[in-house]
Amino acid sequence: MPRFAAMLSEGMRQRGHEVEVLAPKPFFFRLPTPQKFKKWLGYLDQYMMFPLRVKRLLSSYTAKNTLFVFTDHALGPWVPLVANFPHVIHCHDFLAQRSALDEVVENRTTATGKRYQAYIRRGFRQGKHFISVSQKTREDLHRFLKATPASSDVVYNGLNQSFKPVNPTEARILLSQQLNIDLTGGFMLHVGGNQWYKNRRGVILIYDAWKKKAASNIPLLMIGRKPGASLCSTANQLESKETIHWVSGVSDDQVKLAYAGALAFIFPSLAEGFGWPIAEAMASGCPVITTNEAPMTEVAGEAGFMIPKAPYQPEALEEWALNAAKIVDQVVHLTPPQRKAVVDKGIENASQFDTDRALDRIESIYLEILKPANK
């Protein structure tokens, strides 16, 4: 969210608009108290001090030329503060909301979490204008709203870095040297964190099933946070554990080399708000294997290789992984002309996720929202 907020604020400044970023500041949080109370002091800063500050500032704004932009619907508790001013709420994903309503079996929510998400929901329901990052997110939004909003648009994210193809052989050599892992013969790749919906467990199960089938020593590179104990336990039980490499703390340039050098990018997410890595991998010239559900299908378009969503039932995972491994094998054995066609299609598909194009569209929506106030 900080990166998205920075993209919006800088993009609007470049387009000639005056931008002020309002966010809670630590006051109670700075008080010398035991660590176990810090979270609650932070809540006081967010939900008591910050609203008071906003209310004081409102008198200095005019509805005629001020638009209040919420960078995420999770900021819903503050929407009522400016509900009578022109405003817009950006929506990324509703996974927490869906989980709180018991719609996601893979992610159970505590009673406290459910109350908190209800608090957020009561807030953003008072919003009038929304911008979602995908059609899937927009569909979820409309299920949670009590009334049809004044406006509800979809603007796909723009890649916030430059991703482009690099000679795969050169990328593998450079990355091998930098990570001290032999990747020169090619490798499978996943980029993502430990969030439940990223399905890192599914990635290593697919890889293990493929490796058994292909009898190959091609490694799997898992870029992201260090795996938790449960994931490590699963990996340690696999025959392929010696060729699964967990890599954390890499630079942006190293991620770009990984995309460019990978034989295939495996991204079997259970859910997403958008799915940045799909577009990043395609823009880098890497074939993508992802889940056959929105919004992954929106981002991958017709340029990706699709697999079913991983089943929740543990007893069905083995068969799922075996079937997904067949798609991996299909990608690995593409002929050079076939691979070039796949790469070209992916690059073309990823070109639609352009930051300037996204910011231009967002600016036009902002200005449209302000029109009634300027009449």
Q: What is the spatial distance between Cα 181 and Cα 358, in angstroms, rounded to a whole number?
A: 38
**Mean pLDDT for the stretch of residues 140-149:** 95
| pLDDT tens digits, one per residue of 296-355 | 999 999 999 999 999 999 999 999 999 999 999 999 999 999 999 999 999 999 999 999
Q: Give the model's pLDDT for residue 375.
A: 65
Mean pLDDT score of the chain: 94
Domain ranges of the chain: 2-158+355-374, 168-350
* Three-state SS sequence of 6-33: HHHHHHHHHCCCCCCCCCCCCCHHHCCC
Which class is domain 168-350?
Answer: alpha beta
pLDDT at residue 257 tops 70: yes
**Mean pLDDT for the stretch of residues 132-160:** 94
Give Cβ neighbours of residue 242 (< 8 Å, ≥ 6 apart): none
Q: Give the model's pLDDT for residue 41.
A: 87
Which CATH entry fits the domain spanning 2-158+355-374: 3.20.20.70, 3.40.309.10, 1.10.3720.10, 3.40.50.2000?
3.40.50.2000
Confidence class for position 2, pLDDT limits 50, 70, 90: confident
| H/E stretch holding 261 | helix 252-261
Q: What is the spatial distance between Cα 317 and Cα 324, in angstroms, rounded to a whole number?
A: 10
Q: Give the model's pLDDT for residue 362.
A: 97
Q: Give the model's pLDDT for residue 63.
A: 63
**Choice among 31-45, 109-123, 197-211 with the minimum mean pLDDT:** 31-45
Q: Give the model's pLDDT for residue 36.
A: 79
Check for a shared fold between 2-158+355-374 and 168-350: yes
| Cβ count near 353 (within 10 Å) | 22
Give Cβ neighbours of residue 55 (< 8 Å, ≥ 6 apart): 81
| pLDDT tens digits, one per residue of 114-125 | 999 999 999 999
Q: What is the spatial distance between Cα 129 and Cα 125, in angstroms, rounded to a whole number?
A: 10
